[in-house]
Amino acid sequence: MLLRFKLSLFVFLCFAVLFSCKHQTEIKQITTLKFNKVVNAQNFKLIQHPNFIELQIIDPEKGHVERSFALIREGVDLGTKIEMEHIEVPVKGLVCLSATQVGMLNKLKAISFIKGIVSKKYVSNKQLLNNLSLGKVQELQTIDQLNPERVLSTGSRVVMYDGFGTIPTNEEKLKKLGVVCIPDYDWRETDPLGKAEWIKLLGVLVGKELLANNYFTKISNDYSRLKKQAKQLNNHQTILSGSLIGDLWYMPAGESFYAHMLSDAQLDYQEKDSKGTGSVSFSLEHCLKVHKQAKLWINPGVASYTALLRLNPKYQFLDVFQHKKIYCYSHNANYFWENSAIEPHHLLSDLIALNHGEGSIKKLYFYRKLEE
């Protein structure tokens, strides 16, 4: 731990020296490639070129580069022409159509960059809410529903939205208006730290790459430490996740982000061998067969037992319903969506606490027991 800190300090000092040496010649160039190297995230890459950083967004399905952007520091002359969309960094403003971006910008103390969001309904961050009420931030709706002209009026020339593999029609329109859209695939990351690493991209965008890198290093260390602790404690409660939507019960697939988290917390998740990185669906009959005896249930989607029964009274036939060990984040869902991605160490800490039962639970960051 200490060693690692020393090492990073050393690297930092080296760079600081390097920086000051080259200060005279390349003053406006981004020279922080080492900080920007992406380790855990699969769906984006930052590549250092002589006078710009190339951002590659990678298609999570096929693994090839879906889009490339050139992130260029203001005033830098590229010399040759590059066949990529250009983004001048730091950006003047950002339209953030995903809650995770809000959480990340919060960690970077860069909430003021946000000029547009989907809707006030999904915001938890106080500063952002305040900006909304002051009229500094616009409610624009999702990428498919928004009105491109209103995006222009926010003054922001960069939109980040949750990517779905296809290019939304609005993106074409926005492009013609000089607005660049970046698809955000953080939600498709499967590594528990992968989501959080997207903070590095935001760091470059708002010109706070150093801060982003430090934060990420800190939480990856915390995460590893917690993971190790969990392993030593050697407790394996059976756990059930998700809920019925219509006739089908959606659960995290075996290779998904959440399944990895559960396994890192040493929880025993019965569907851990299922294929896929998203979710898998099962009939209620399957769930009663496989998960009837599960000791824990997380993410039922509601905050109280009454609400749960109203959604489907058949839930009562799960043993866990009788033991009352059901936990959710629904009492503060917006907070969860904003912060869980960027605080994977807190999420893991919650899951470990759940694994060890009531007595050990000192502080839960996101989860809370269902109300009666």
Partner 1 sequence: MKVRLYKRFTFCLGLLLVILSFVHLQSGEVAISYSDAWNALFSFDEQNQSQVIFRELRLPRTGIALLAGAGLSIAGLLMQTFFNNPLAGPSILGVSTGSSLFVAISLMSGLTLFTSTFGIITAAVIGAFIYSLLLLVFSSFVRSNVSLLIIGIMLGSFTNSIIQMIQAASDVNALKSFTIWGFGSLQQVNYNQLLPIFICFMLAVGMLLFLVKPLNSYVLGEDRAAQLGINTKRVKTMLIICVAVFTGLITAYCGPIAFVGLAVPNIVKLLYKTCNHWYLLIASALVGSLLLLICDLIILNLESYIQLPLNSITSLFGAPVVIWILLKNNMHAKN
Give the residue with the Cβ less far from partner 1, 28 or 314: 314
Give the residue with the Cβ less far from partner 1, 145 or 153: 145
Q: Which helix (H) or strand (E) holds 308?
A: helix 305-311
CB neighbour list of residue 160: distance below 8 Å, 6 or more residues apart: 94, 95, 96, 97, 98, 101, 181, 182, 183, 184
| Subset of 268-287 contacting partner 1 (CB under 8 A) | 281, 283-286
Please report how close the Cβ of residue 314 comes to partner 1 at its closest, in angstroms: 6
Give the residue with the Cβ less far from partner 1, 46 or 117: 117
| Subset of 299-358 contacting partner 1 (CB under 8 A) | 301-302, 307, 310-314, 317
CB neighbour list of residue 51: distance below 8 Å, 6 or more residues apart: 26, 29, 72, 76, 77, 78, 79
Among 246, 275, 362, 372, binds partner 1 (CB under 8 A): 246
Please report how close the Cβ of residue 366 comes to partner 1 at its closest, in angstroms: 18
| Subset of 112-141 contacting partner 1 (CB under 8 A) | 121
Distance CA 107, CA 124 (A): 14
Distance CA 332, CA 17 (A): 46
Please report how close the Cβ of residue 248 comes to partner 1 at its closest, in angstroms: 6
Please report how close the Cβ of residue 285 comes to partner 1 at its closest, in angstroms: 5
Please report how close the Cβ of residue 363 comes to partner 1 at its closest, in angstroms: 27
8 A C-beta contact, residue 158 and residue 136 = no
CB neighbour list of residue 86: distance below 8 Å, 6 or more residues apart: 69, 70, 72, 180
DSSP, res 274? -
Give the residue with the Cβ less far from partner 1, 178 or 246: 246
| Subset of 167-226 contacting partner 1 (CB under 8 A) | none
Site size for partner 1 (CB under 8 A): 22
Give the residue with the Cβ less far from partner 1, 56 or 312: 312
Give the residue with the Cβ less far from partner 1, 241 or 355: 241
Among 76, 129, 233, 248, binds partner 1 (CB under 8 A): 248
Please report how close the Cβ of residue 302 comes to partner 1 at its closest, in angstroms: 7
Phi/psi at 90 (nearest 5 deg)? Answer: -65, 145
Does residue 247 belong to the site contacting partner 1 (CB under 8 A)?
A: yes
CB neighbour list of residue 303: distance below 8 Å, 6 or more residues apart: 328, 330, 331, 368, 370, 371
Residues pairing with 70 in the sheet: 54, 86
Please report how close the Cβ of residue 244 comes to partner 1 at its closest, in angstroms: 9
CB neighbour list of residue 167: distance below 8 Å, 6 or more residues apart: none
Residues pairing with 295 in the sheet: none
Binding residues for partner 1, rule: CB under 8 A, are 121, 245-248, 281, 283-286, 288-289, 292, 301-302, 307, 310-314, 317
